[in-house]
Amino acid sequence: MIEFRDVTVIYDNDIIGLENVSFKIEKGEFVFLVGKTGAGKSSAIKLLTGEIKPYAGDVIVNGITVNTLKNKKLPYLRRSVGVVFQDFRLLPNKTVYENVAFAMEVVRARKKDIRRKVPTILSLVGLSGRAKNYPNELSGGEQQRVCIARALVNSPAIVIADEPTGNLDAETADEIMKLLMEINRMGTTIVMVTHSEKIVNDARRRVIQLESGVVVRDEMEGGYALDVLA
């Protein structure tokens, strides 16, 4: 489903983002990506979404070799990978419904499919009653639900979330985690970056830990345990 083969990321100023990173994630897994600030977590996520390219190595996502993907083929990747952001990144001048519909419009889905799919997904994330509201009329937790609905609406095989609970209080974070777990149970592979010790320790899922661009731990039912090197 996801494979990193000897992946190295180097930024313009010769800063190393990742160095010889290799791992495989199978279909249906729920994987936490942890590590201190600057460890390379977002670099790994940005490779999966095609936002950056590796300096060396291969990144394979749902059968697509992302590093050799031509820009015009990027929509194929966008259909395979849904992304949830810490800061939601909703369009302020579109309603909840329109925000989710827009994700389908950019991959040129048919109008008929959009009309059918958007209400289904909004109901899945518990936001049917908020379809006509604008993002600034919603709580943080509700905005994150919209973001998750938008990530799911094209039925991606994989959902990538970079600190999806980072801006939420503990209780709301819990609700969002339940929703992500539920989506995972339905078969979607999930890769989630988090700094929350509690979330990782509660979930007992696979944990990949990065330090200075290198994988230092890969445990099937891991805890947060950041100090393995200390």
Ligand X SMILES: Nc1ncnc2c1ncn2[C@@H]1O[C@H](COP(=O)(O)OP(=O)(O)OP(=O)(O)O)[C@@H](O)[C@H]1O
Q: Which residues bind ligand X (CB under 6 A)?
A: 11-13, 15, 17, 35, 37-43
Least distance between ligand X and beta carbon 179 (Å): 22
40 binds, among ligand X, Mg ion, none (CB under 5 to 8 A by kind): ligand X
Place of tokens 């949830």: 84
**Cβ proximity of 82 and 147 under 8 Å:** no
User: Does residue 194 interact with Mg ion by CB under 5 A?
Assistant: no
Q: How far is the CB of 81 from ligand X (least distance, A)?
A: 17
Q: How far is the CB of 41 from Mg ion (least distance, A)?
A: 5
Sign of CA dihedral 189, 161, 200, 41: positive
Please tell me the count of residues contacting Mg ion according to CB under 5 A: 1
Stretch that binds Mg ion, among 24-32, 41-49, 88-96, 172-180 (CB under 5 A): 41-49
Q: Which is nearer to ligand X, 143 or 209 (CB)?
A: 209
Nearer to ligand X, 53 or 132 (CB): 53
The residue number with the shortest CB distance to Mg ion is: 42
Q: Residue 167, exposed/middle/buried by CB under 10 A (0-12, 13-18, 19+)?
A: middle
Sign of the C-alpha dihedral computed for residues 57, 54, 194 and 180 taken in this order: negative
Contact by Cβ (8 Å): 140, 167: yes
CB of 160 to ligand X, least distance (A): 13
Report which of 51, 137, 154 is spatially closest to residue 102, judged by C-alpha positions: 154
Among 31, 33, 39, 42, binds Mg ion (CB under 5 A): 42
Which two three-digit tokens encode residue 134?
């604008």
Rounded CA gap, 85 and 5, in Å? 25
Specify the residue, 44 or 125, whose C-beta has the smaller distance to Mg ion. 44
